[in-house]
Amino acid sequence: MLTKSLTLCCLLALVLPTLAEVGWWRTAQFYQIYPRSFKDSDGDGVGDLNGITQQLAYLKEIGTTATWLSPIFTSPMADFGYDVADFYDIDPLFGNMEDFEKLLERAKQLDIKIILDFVPNHSSDECDWFIRSAAGEEEYKDFYVWHTGKVVNGIRQPPTNWISVFRGSQWTWHEGRQAYYLHQFLAKQPDLNYRNPKVVEAMKDVLRFWLRKGVYGFRIDAVPHVFEVAPDSNGDWPDEPRNEYVSDPEDYSYLDHIYTTNQPETIDLVYQFRQVIEEIDQELGGDDRVLLTEAYAPLDVLMQYYGNSTHNGSQIPFNFELLSNINFNSDAYHYSELLHNWLDNMPADKVANWVLGNHDQSRIGTRLGADRIDATNMLLLTLPGISVNYQGEEIGMEDVWISWEDTVDPQACQSNQQEFERLTRDPVRTPFQWSDEEFAGFTNGSSTWLPVSDKYKLVNVKRERGIALSHLNIYKQLRALRDEPTLKQGDVTVNAIGPNVLAFKRSLAGHKSYITVININDDVESVNLDSVFTELSSQLSYVVVNDKSARRKNDVTYANSVLLMPKEAIVLSTI
Ligand SMILES: *[C@@H]1O[C@H](CO)[C@@H](O)[C@H](O)[C@H]1NC(C)=O
Ligand SMILES: *[C@@H]1O[C@H](CO)[C@@H](O)[C@H](O)[C@H]1NC(C)=O
Ligand SMILES: *[C@@H]1O[C@H](CO)[C@@H](O)[C@H](O)[C@H]1NC(C)=O
Ligand SMILES: CC(=O)N[C@H]1CO[C@H](CO)[C@@H](O)[C@@H]1O
| Domain range annotation of the chain | 24-123+198-475, 128-182
The Cα-based distances of 368 to 6, 362, 479, 548 in angstroms read 26, 10, 22, 16
What is residue 9's predicted lDDT score, i.e. its pLDDT? 41
Per the prediction, the chain carries an average pLDDT of 92
How far is it, in rounded angstroms, from Cα 340 to Cα 193? 37
- For the segment 156-166, the average pLDDT, to the nearest whole number, is 87
Strands 539-544 and 556-558: antiparallel
Q: Does residue 444 have its Cβ closer than 6 Å to ligand 1?
A: yes
Cβ neighbors of 87 (< 8 A, separation 6 or more) are 73, 123, 127, 203, 206
Which region among 61-75, 400-414, 504-518, 550-564 has the lowest average model confidence (pLDDT)?
400-414
DSSP run (H or E) holding 137: none
Q: What is the pLDDT of residue 2?
A: 37
Question: Is pLDDT above 60 for 175?
Answer: yes
- Tell me the CA end-to-end span of the chain in Å, nearest whole number: 27
Point out the residues that are catalytic: 221, 294
Taking alpha carbons only, the member of 201, 199, 218, 347 closest to residue 274 is 218
| 314-323: pLDDT as tens digits | 999 999 999 9
* Mean pLDDT value across residues 126-147: 96
C-beta separation of 192 from 90 below 8 A: no
6 has pLDDT over 80: no
pLDDT category of residue 296 using cuts at 50, 70 and 90: confident
Q: Which ligand is nearest to the CA of 282?
A: 3
What amino acid occupies position 460? N
Instruction: Tell me, using a 6 A CB cutoff, whether residue 235 lines ligand 1.
Output: no
Q: What is the pLDDT of residues 528-560, one digit of tens each?
A: 999 999 999 999 999 999 999 999 999 999 999
Among 41-45, 227-231, 396-400, 431-435, the range scoring the smallest mean pLDDT is 227-231
pLDDT at position 8 over 60: no
Q: pLDDT band at 229, cuts 50/70/90?
A: confident
pLDDT at 402 over 70: yes
pLDDT reading at 84 higher than 70: yes
Give the separation between CA 275 and CA 268, rounded to whole angstroms: 11
- How high is the pLDDT of residue 226? 75
Model confidence at 22, pLDDT cuts 50, 70, 90, reads low
| Per-residue pLDDT at 325 exceeds 90 | yes
Which-ligand-closest: CA of 442?
1
Which of 120, 133, 371 has its CA nearest to residue 270? 120
The yes-or-no verdict on residue 166 having pLDDT over 80 is no
Mean pLDDT to the nearest integer, 565-573? 98
* pLDDT, position 287: 94
Query: Which ligand has the nearest atom to the CA of 409?
Result: 4
For residues 425-436, one letter each, b for 16 or more C-beta atoms within 10 angstroms of the residue's C-beta and e for the rest, the string is bbbbbbbbbbbe
With the most atoms of ligand 2 within 8 angstroms of its CB, the residue from 308, 312, 314 to mutate is: 308
Checking if the pLDDT of 403 tops 60, the result is yes
Sign of the four-CA dihedral 305, 307, 311, 314: positive
Task: Give residues (CB < 6 A) around ligand 3.
Answer: 278, 310-312
Percent of the chain with pLDDT over 70: 96
Q: Are 505 and 540 in contact (CB under 8 A)?
A: no
Identity of residue 468: A
Task: Kindly give the distance from the C-alpha atom of residue 263 to the centroid of ligand 2, in angstroms, as a whole number.
Answer: 14
pLDDT digits 0-9 by tens, 457-481: 999 999 999 999 999 999 999 999 9
**Cα 473 to Cα 553: distance, rounded to the nearest angstrom:** 13
423-434 average pLDDT score:
95
**Which amino acid, residue 536?**
L
| Per-residue pLDDT at 121 | 78
pTM for the whole thing? 0.89
Residue 259 has pLDDT above 90, yes or no: no
pLDDT for the residue numbered 165: 78
Q: Any idea what DSSP says for residue 187?
A: T
The secondary structure element, H or E, covering residue 490 is none
CATH of region 24-123+198-475, choose from 3.30.1240.10, 1.25.40.10, 3.20.20.80, 3.40.50.620? 3.20.20.80
Rounded average pLDDT over 127-138? 96
Cα distances (angstroms) measured from residue 161 to each of 222, 247, 252: 21, 15, 11
Q: Which of 13-27, 84-98, 148-162, 290-304 has the highest mean pLDDT?
A: 84-98
Q: What is the percentage of the chain residues whose pLDDT exceeds 90?
A: 76
Q: In 226-237, which positions are buried (b, 16+ CB within 10 angstroms) versus exposed (e)?
A: bbbbeeeeeeeb
Report the pocket of ligand 2 as residue ranges, CB < 6 Å. Answer: 268, 271, 308-311
Query: For the stretch 398-411, what's the b/e string if a residue is b when 16 or more beta carbons lie within 10 angstroms of its beta carbon?
Result: bbbebeeeebebbb
pLDDT of 242 above 90: no
pLDDT at site 21: 41
The domain 128-182 is classified under which CATH number: 3.40.50.970, 3.40.50.300, 3.40.50.720, 3.90.400.10?
A: 3.90.400.10
Q: Residue 476's Cα: distance from chain center in Å?
A: 20
Nearest to 385 by CA among 346, 359, 358: 346
Q: What is the mean pLDDT of residues 39-47?
A: 97
Q: At 222, is the pLDDT very low, low, confident or very high (cuts 50, 70, 90)?
A: low
- Cα 384 to the chain's mean position, in Å? 17
